[in-house]
């Protein structure tokens, strides 16, 4: 990973993926910082024989199943109580198709 260079194009591609519009001032600030941070992280390149199983959790987990019974969940009113954009009992979102 040490060889990966983050340039303006890559940063903007990442930002678009993350749904962030960056200003020119932000790009100017973030670019060298990302370079420094990734450079420091490249220390993880060192162990050549890193063949362990990845630990996606720090403590081993077991699958747990519950009975197929309906439980209590939020009412429609509760679910919509925090939105400013609702219509006819639904969330109202921005346009998907022009």
Partner 1 sequence: MKAQSALEFVAEARTGRIDLEENTHKILDKVFASEKYNFFNSVSKDLALHQAKELNAKVKSGKASGKLFGLPVSVKDCICVKGIESRAGSRILSGYLPVFDATVIAKAKAEGAIIIGKTSQDEFGFGTFSANAGLGFKVPKNPLDFERACGGSSGGSAGMTAFADFPHVSISESTGGSIACPASFCGVAGFTPTYGLVSRYGLIDYANSLDKIGSMGKTVSESSLLLEAIAGHDEKDSTSLNEKISFSPAKSPSAKGMKIGVIKEFFGQGINSGVSRIAWDSIKKLEKEGAKIREISLPLNAKYAIPAYYIIAMAESSTNLAKYCGMRYGAHESLSGSFNEYFSKVRSCNFGEEAKRRILLGTFARMSGFRDAYYLRAMKARTRLINEFKTAFKDFDVLVNPTMPVPAPKFSEIEKLSPIQQYAMDLCTVPANLAGLPHISINAGLLQKMPVGIMFTAGHLQEERLVQAASALEALK
Look at residue 45 and give its three-state secondary structure. Answer: helix
Q: Is 66 in the site for partner 1 (CB under 8 A)?
A: yes
Residues 85, 86, 87, 89: what is their CA dihedral angle, to the nearest 10 degrees? 180
* Number of residues near partner 1 (by CB under 8 A): 55
* Per-residue interface string for the shown chain with partner 1, residues 23-62, x marking contact by CB under 8 A: ---x---x--xx-xxx-xxxxx-xx--xxxxxxxxxx-x-
Minimum Å gap between C-beta 70 and partner 1 is 15
Least distance from partner 1 to the Cβ atom of residue 72, Å: 10
**Terminal Cα distance for the chain, rounded:** 40
Where are the extended beta strands (E) located within 29-80?
A: none
* Structure tokens, 56: 């996606």
Residue 46, both tokens: 């060192």
Chain contacts with partner 1 (rule: CB under 8 A): 1, 4, 6, 10-11, 14-15, 17-22, 26, 30, 33-34, 36-38, 40-44, 46-47, 50-59, 61, 64, 66, 74, 78-79, 81-85, 91-96, 98
């Amino acid at each position: 990973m040490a060889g990966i260079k983050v340039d303006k194009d890559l940063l903007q591609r990442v930002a678009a993926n993350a749904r962030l519009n960056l200003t020119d001032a932000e790009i100017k600030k973030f670019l060298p910082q990302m370079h420094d941070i990734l450079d420091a992280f490249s220390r993880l390149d060192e162990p050549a024989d890193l063949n362990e199983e990845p630990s996606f959790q720090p403590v081993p987990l077991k699958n747990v199943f519950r009975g197929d019974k309906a439980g209590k969940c939020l009412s429609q009113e509760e679910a919509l109580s925090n939105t400013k954009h609702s219509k006819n009992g639904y969330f109202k979102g921005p346009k998907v198709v022009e």
